[in-house]
Amino acid sequence: MTDPDQDALGRGGALRPALARYVRHLADRGLSDNTLLAYQRDLERYVAFLESIGRRAPDEIAGQDVEGFVDAVRSGSDGRRPLSESSAARLVAAVRGWHRFLARDGITVDDAAREVRTPSLPRRLPKAMTVEDVDRLLDAAGHGEGPVPARDRALLELLYSTGARISEVVGLDLVDVDRRARHAAVRLAVGSGKQRMTPLGTKALEALDGYLSDARPVLATGAPDADRVALFLNSRGARLSRQSAWAVLRAAAHRAGLPDADGISPHTLRHSFATHMLAGGADVRVVQELLGHASVSTTQLYATARDEALRAAYAAAHPHAR
């Protein structure tokens, strides 16, 4: 039996019905409404461009048309606002996904976007805090009385001591922490059933000991059964969420009076961990393992950031550098 939708499209079917079919396909995959709207907005711009150059059906589109569209969105020559490299890359990815779908479903013979490459983006160097600013942040987190400041200090000390992702830290259970002297470490879940053990520094261990002995028992009063195993608890005894951990960090950054406090995130502490480790002489592959990076090239970005800082300091200070 033939598919009536397929017959209506056929090879030579109109562009907009083909786009509507793809959007339905994305909706069936469970994409969020916001993501669907973004795809549809990007692809409608593409369809409008195709119609402006006389293309009326998917099988009329050639690779040079896709390349022309990429040039148009970068320059704004299609009559709309030119896009940044990152926005253009996102839009090209949507176009390539649509063409793969058209070819796979037999609406077109070939994938017209197969040879079109997504614009490469310059890799941004990670932003790290100074050691002095990290110390100010950690001191500010622990300022005050009661169990919450003790928890906040332990949370941020652990983030900086391990370089862990915020999702890894709020997902920790009590059994994931080894507090034995000279063996202190945390077991971090890194997805797909994988784990890594990361050492705990002395200051993080001291902050955790204080939190676990004095503050957590107070927070755990009336905790839901499912959260009794969680390492970090909120004021109601439930597991601390990622959003709440972000708020803890942001509030501490403001209390410490740090520059660009609103721009400091849990990932800033991760960047700082890596940068400070490399500056202290750690091998890049050791830092790679501690961070849980699959590729050393990702970790190498931190070494690049360190090298650029050294070059800037040299250029500013050496009398023969200017």
In three-state secondary structure terms, 202 is: helix
| Residue among 21, 45, 165, 239 flagged as catalytic | 165
CATH superfamily of 4-104: Tyrosine recombinase, N-terminal domain (1.10.150.130)
SS3 8: helix
Mean pLDDT of 57-61: 93
Q: Taking Cα atoms as reference points, which of 174, 171, 162 lies closest to residue 217?
A: 174
Active site annotation includes 267: yes
- In terms of phi and psi (left: phi > 0; alpha: psi -120 to 50; beta: otherwise), the region of 203 is alpha
The CA–CA distances, whole Å, from 141 to 225, 244, 271, 277, 317 equal 28, 13, 19, 22, 35
pLDDT tens per residue, range 74-90: 888 888 988 877 788 88
**Catalytic (active site) residue 270:** yes
Please check whether the two domains, 4-104 and 131-317, share a CATH topology. no
> Are 129 and 259 spatial neighbours (Cβ–Cβ below 8 Å)?
no
Please tell me which residue in 267, 285, 311, 314 is annotated as part of the active site. 267
Distance between CA atoms of residues 244 and 218, nearest Å: 18
Percent above pLDDT 70 for the chain: 83
Given 136, 151, 153, 270, the catalytic residue: 270
If you search the block for the tokens 């501690």, which residue do you land on?
Answer: 290
Q: Average model confidence (pLDDT) for the chain?
A: 83
Tell me the domain boundaries of the chain.
4-104, 131-317
Task: With a cut of 70, say whether residue 315 has pLDDT above it.
Answer: no
Q: Which pLDDT band holds residue 300 (cuts at 50, 70, 90)?
A: low
Confidence band (pLDDT; 50, 70, 90) for 251?
Answer: very high
- Per-residue pLDDT for 140 more than 60? yes
Gap between the Cα atoms of 266 and 232, Å rounded: 15
C-alpha–C-alpha distance, residues 66 and 100, integer Å: 13
Q: What is the pLDDT of residue 127?
A: 77
pLDDT in the model for residue 304: 60
Q: Which fold has domain 131-317?
A: hpI Integrase; Chain A (1.10.443)
Question: Looking at residues 307-320, what average pLDDT do you find?
Answer: 56
Model confidence pLDDT, tens digit, residues 96-137: 999 999 999 999 999 999 888 776 655 555 578 999 999 999
φ/ψ of residue 12, rounded to 5: 100, 5
- Among residues 46, 160, 211, 302, the one annotated as catalytic is 302
Res 147 pLDDT > 90:
yes
**DSSP labels, 13-65:** --HHHHHHHHHHHHHHTT--HHHHHHHHHHHHHHHHHHHHTT--SGGG--HHH
Q: From the CB of residue 76, how many other CB atoms can be counted at a distance below 10 Å?
A: 11
Phi-psi region of 5 (alpha: psi -120 to 50; beta: other; left: phi over 0): alpha
Would residue 165 show up in a list of annotated catalytic residues for this protein?
A: yes
